[in-house]
Amino acid sequence: MACLLLRFDAPIMSFGGVCVDQINPSDTFPGKAMITGLIGNALGWDHRDTDRLDGLQDRLRIAARWDAEPQRLIDYHTVFLGQDHLVGTGWTTRGRTEGRGSGQATSGTHIRYRHYLANGVLTAAITVLGDDIPTLENIEQALKYPARPLFLGRKTCIPSEPILVGRRHAAHLIDVLRAEPLADIGPRRRPQVVTARWPADDGGGYQPEAVYDRRDWGANMPRGVHHYFTGPMEMMP
């Protein structure tokens, strides 16, 4: 099986976890929705290309490992909702406005806690099932010359290096990560044991975990699950 090896090296990155109220946590590994958005962005798609995004997400398989262990960074962030450009501006293409409703959280200063993973370096192996478009070649090309700037979860998370490392071949995604030497991480923290997350159908783990890493792009909300193994990964000698 052919796949693409990606490297996420950025001061901060964020892998959109389950958001509750004003807390926007990050998952510990990139999920299908995040990588789908990343590739869609590289291909020049936008939020309206919901069918293509859904299609790509269905075909996508991801495994990832941390070469430098990240630390959680929680960014405190406020928005004053009374700013002129935020009041009375909620037009929609549905022919009616969309307001904020009523209640305490709809006016005044809104507080958010955005979680990031700081100072980490992650290596991922991705592939797409089937021969539909975009093919792995299309994706490879788009990552090399992206239509838009690429970012790792949020627009402020801009990578330090080209994301695309190159093409690899193996029976399973996890085998690619086992065989790939750890990245040069400079003075960052090398984990004692390298941790990885990989699709449960690749086998080799103990307890599969349900990860809610898919998005319903048309409805614009998270929906759908994939099963993964998470745990220590033995590198091939």
Partner 1 sequence: MFLQIHTLVSYPASLLNRDDAGLAKRIPFGNATRLRISSQCLKRHWRDSLQENLPDIPDGLRTRHFFTRVVLPRVVAAGIPEDSARRLIETLANTVITGGMKELDMSQPVLFGAREADYLVRLIQDAVAAQPDNPLEALKKRLSDKSEKENLKAMSKSATGLTGALFGRFVTSDLLARVDAPVHVAHAMTVHAANTEMDYFTVVDDLSSDEETGAAHANQAELGAGVFYGYVVVDLPLFISNLTGCNRTEWKNQETQLPKRVLESLIHIIASKSPGAKLGSTAPYSRAETVLLEVGREQPRTLANAFLEAIPMKNHLVRQATACMRDYLNRMDGMYGRTSDVRTLATIHETVDFGISPSSLDEAIQSALEAIWS
Determine, following the binding rule CB under 8 A, whether residue 155 of this chain makes contact with partner 1.
yes
Determine, following the binding rule CB under 8 A, whether residue 161 of this chain makes contact with partner 1.
yes
Q: How far is the CB of 201 from partner 1 (least distance, A)?
A: 31
Determine, following the binding rule CB under 8 A, whether residue 75 of this chain makes contact with partner 1.
yes
- Return d(Cα 139, Cα 145) in angstroms, integer: 10
Q: How far is the CB of 231 from partner 1 (least distance, A)?
A: 25
Element counts in the chain: helices (H) and strands (E) = 4, 13
Determine, following the binding rule CB under 8 A, whether residue 156 of this chain makes contact with partner 1.
yes
Nearer to partner 1, 141 or 209 (CB): 141
Q: Is cis: bond before 30, omega within 30 of 0?
A: no
Kindly tell me which residue out of 82, 90, 203, 232 binds partner 1, with binding defined by CB under 8 A.
90
- Please classify residue 221 by burial: count the beta carbons closer than 10 Å to its beta carbon, then call 0-12 exposed, 13-18 middle and 19+ buried: exposed
Q: Which two tokens stand for residue 195?
A: 């941790």
Determine, following the binding rule CB under 8 A, whether residue 107 of this chain makes contact with partner 1.
no
Determine, following the binding rule CB under 8 A, whether residue 145 of this chain makes contact with partner 1.
yes
Nearer to partner 1, 162 or 203 (CB): 162
Nearer to partner 1, 121 or 211 (CB): 121
Nearer to partner 1, 85 or 236 (CB): 85
- Return d(Cα 236, Cα 129) in angstroms, integer: 25
The C-alpha angle 220, 114, 227, rounded to 5 degrees, equals 55
The residues of the shown chain that bind partner 1, judged by CB under 8 A, are 9-12, 44, 46-48, 50, 71, 73, 75-77, 85-86, 88-98, 111, 118-119, 143-151, 155-164, 186-188, 220
